[in-house]
Amino acid sequence: MERRVNARPRLIVIGGDAAGMSAASQARRLRDSAELEILALERGPHTSYSACGIPYLVGKTVSSPEALISRDPATFRRDFEIDVRTGTEVEGIDLDRRTVTARPAGGRAVEESFDQLMIATGAVPVRPGLPGMDAPGVFGVQTLSDGIAVREFVDSRRPRTAVVVGGGYIGLEMAEAFVQRGMEVRLIEAATEPMTTLDPDMGRLVRDALTGMGVRVHLSEPVTGVETAPGGGAVRAVATEEASYPADIVVLGLGVRPGSDLARAAGIEIGPTGGIAVDARMRTSAEGVWAAGDCVQSLHRVSHAPVSIALGTHANKQGRVAGTNIGGGYARFGGVLGTAISKVCDLEVARTGLNEAEARRAGFEFETATLESTTRAGYFPGAAAMTLKMLAERRSRRLLGAQIVGWENAGKRIDVLATALWNSMSVEDVAAMDLGYAPPFSPVWDPVLITARKLAEQM
Ligand SMILES: Cc1cc2nc3c(=O)[nH]c(=O)nc-3n(C[C@H](O)[C@H](O)[C@H](O)COP(=O)(O)OP(=O)(O)OC[C@H]3O[C@@H](n4cnc5c(N)ncnc54)[C@H](O)[C@@H]3O)c2cc1C
């Protein structure tokens, strides 16, 4: 196997999306190409793409895949002097020889040596080993290439019935995309309610809204397989323990696990969540080896437990922290709250911090308060329903988490609550905050203030 000797210190980045290219660009801002050579190796054809935009590409809110790419390989080469090799899979890491084995698609494996290594291999989608899961017409939606494949299938085959397996936020967003494309949509979920990152009482609101939009929701129904046309043909239906549902297209949104296999095989420490163990500077257990994004585990700021939560917000920030440190600067990642927001048609769903099950697991004694309110002053045109739920620790009265389900303009209130959580505020503090008000934006007492007050009074 060819082995190349480096003239300058060399950083190799594995994975060319959010975390990897944030790290590479930030390292380049601090070290020019005479000081640091940077090589990024990416298995797929794209760099720095927004996986978050895939549902909107499929639903045609976004017109073309190019719109989802913030920097392509040519831009990285030209503007950042970063050598990007797409279509190149890293097959192994040798920490003693400080090399990676990289194989270009259909080509010979090459050993590339590094002084510093950045692992940003993302997450691996959960794919149950059930019959028919690889049939034509069954898709995952993890990479931009997956998104393009779904869009092309819908454009060319014009499917009439869609089944989304998994009721998490990606499942919800894909259900919206298929509704927008005029299909009959079913959502199948093994849990008792969709959106299991929310408490079931809040998940029920999501279920009711989905049903109101015409999506058929099947709960507590584990999928048992995909039925295909005779002779291994295209998907025909999705089977559950209860029934069989017709499907011209199936999308799997069953969650992900950290993509830490390469690191594990190299002997790098893996944490209890299955993510690569990193410190606040994004250093792994191996000297000069860094990791960030969906492949790592992070510290939860409320529970202080290690968690692996696959979100682009975390990946970009962690990548930048790693890049700053690789470039000789100093940066620390402050931990995560798992703040997330998504929408299905006009329904907005958001959460931050701990839900009831998570708070219980973390050993907190807590109270909850739930408020039904409106997104604007009740008399103002467009005022719509929203429900806000908060959790607080009994003794300290510290806010532990919040969830929002509501119509247009409800969801982004989660950022106020994430700010409160980030600063360990009590519910009394939250109830006293000076928030903006005018009738088009909120009732005079914003639902955030009233829910916090209600919770404080309850305790
Ligand atoms: C449909 C969808 C919608 C989403 N919506 C949101 C949202 O609204 N908000 C939000 O915060 N997050 C969202 N996310 C999550 C977000 O996209 C991810 O958290 C983020 O992309 C993680 O970045 P990353 O760089 O860690 O991993 P990735 O973006 O997965 O990048 C990892 C890269 O590594 C490459 N790779 C892996 N192994 C190898 C190897 N051995 N050799 C070479 N290359 C390799 C992969 O091809 C991939 O390109 C969404 C994700 C999906 C799929």
Q: What is the pLDDT of residues 23-63, one digit of tens each?
A: 999 999 999 999 999 999 999 999 999 999 999 999 999 99
Domain 2-44+86-123+257-326 in this protein, CATH class: alpha beta
* Cβ of 349 less than 6 Å from ligand 1: no
* Cβ of 348 less than 6 Å from ligand 1: no
Neighbours of 59 (CB within 10 A): 19
Q: Residue 315's Cα: distance from chain center in Å?
A: 9
Q: Which is it for strands 184-188 and 216-218: parallel, antiparallel or unpaired? A: parallel
Domain over 138-254 is classified CATH 3.50.50.60: yes
Q: For residues 213-236, give the mean pLDDT.
A: 92
* Cβ of 20 less than 6 Å from ligand 1: yes
Identity (one letter) of the amino acid at 149?
A
- Going from the Cα of 20 to the center of ligand 1, the distance in angstroms, rounded, reads 10
* Cβ of 124 less than 6 Å from ligand 1: no
Q: Which is it for strands 223-228 and 235-240: parallel, antiparallel or unpaired? A: antiparallel
Identity (one letter) of the amino acid at 385?
A
Q: Closest residue (by CA) to atom 41 of ligand 1? A: 90
Name the pTM for this structure.
Answer: 0.95
Q: pLDDT > 70: what percent of the chain? A: 99
Select from 12, 13, 17, 148 the residue to mutate for testing ligand 1; criterion: most ligand atoms less than 8 Å from CB: 17
- SS3 string, 177-214, reads HHHHCCCEEEEECCCCCCCCCCCHHHHHHHHHHHHHCC
* Cβ of 420 less than 6 Å from ligand 1: no
What is the reported pLDDT for 195?
A: 96
User: pLDDT tens digits for 148-171?
Assistant: 999 999 999 999 999 999 999 999
CB-hemisphere CA count at 13 Å for 305? Answer: 16
pLDDT at 179 exceeding the cut of 70: yes
What is the reported pLDDT for 2?
A: 55
Q: Which is it for strands 340-344 and 347-353: parallel, antiparallel or unpaired? A: antiparallel
What is the reported pLDDT for 1?
A: 58
DSSP for 70-110, written as a single string: SS-HHHHHHHH--EEE-SEEEEEEETTTTEEEEEETTS--E
Please report which confidence band the pLDDT of residue 3 belongs to, taking 50, 70 and 90 as the band edges: low
User: pLDDT tens digits for 98-126?
Assistant: 999 999 999 999 999 999 999 999 999 99
Residues whose CB falls within 8 Å of the CB of residue 17, separated by 6 or more in sequence, listed in order: 42, 46, 47, 48, 49, 51, 120, 122, 293, 315
3-class state of residue 316 by DSSP: helix
Encoding tokens for residue 268? 């790098």
* Cβ of 22 less than 6 Å from ligand 1: no
Q: From residue 303, give the alpha-carbon distance in Å to each of 36, 37, 133, 352, 364.
A: 39, 40, 37, 12, 9
8 A C-beta contact, residue 182 and residue 162: no
- Going from the Cα of 402 to the center of ligand 1, the distance in angstroms, rounded, reads 26
- Kindly tell me the burial class for residue 121, based on how many C-beta atoms sit within 10 Å of its own C-beta (0-12, 13-18, 19 or more): buried
Widest Cα–Cα separation across the chain: 73
pLDDT at 13 exceeding the cut of 80: yes
Residues of the chain with CATH 3.50.50.60: 2-44+86-123+257-326, 138-254
Encoding tokens for residue 136? 């034509």
CATH topology of domain 347-458: Enolase-like; domain 1 (3.30.390)
Residues whose CB falls within 8 Å of the CB of residue 355, separated by 6 or more in sequence, listed in order: 197, 198, 199, 391, 401, 403
- Going from the Cα of 18 to the center of ligand 1, the distance in angstroms, rounded, reads 7
pLDDT at 5 exceeding the cut of 70: no
CB-hemisphere CA count at 13 Å for 295? Answer: 26
Among 122, 134, 130, 125, CA closest to 171: 125
- Going from the Cα of 124 to the center of ligand 1, the distance in angstroms, rounded, reads 9
Q: Closest residue (by CA) to atom 53 of ligand 1? A: 142
Select from 12, 26, 42 the residue to mutate for testing ligand 1; criterion: most ligand atoms less than 8 Å from CB: 42
* Cβ of 296 less than 6 Å from ligand 1: no
Q: Closest residue (by CA) to atom 2 of ligand 1? A: 52
* Cβ of 42 less than 6 Å from ligand 1: yes
pLDDT, the chain, mean? 96
Q: Which residues are catalytic, by number? A: 52
Please report which confidence band the pLDDT of residue 204 belongs to, taking 50, 70 and 90 as the band edges: very high
Q: For residues 356-375, give the mean pLDDT.
A: 97
CA distance 121 to 41: 10
Q: From residue 426, give the alpha-carbon distance in Å to each of 78, 336, 340, 355, 392.
A: 50, 19, 21, 17, 8
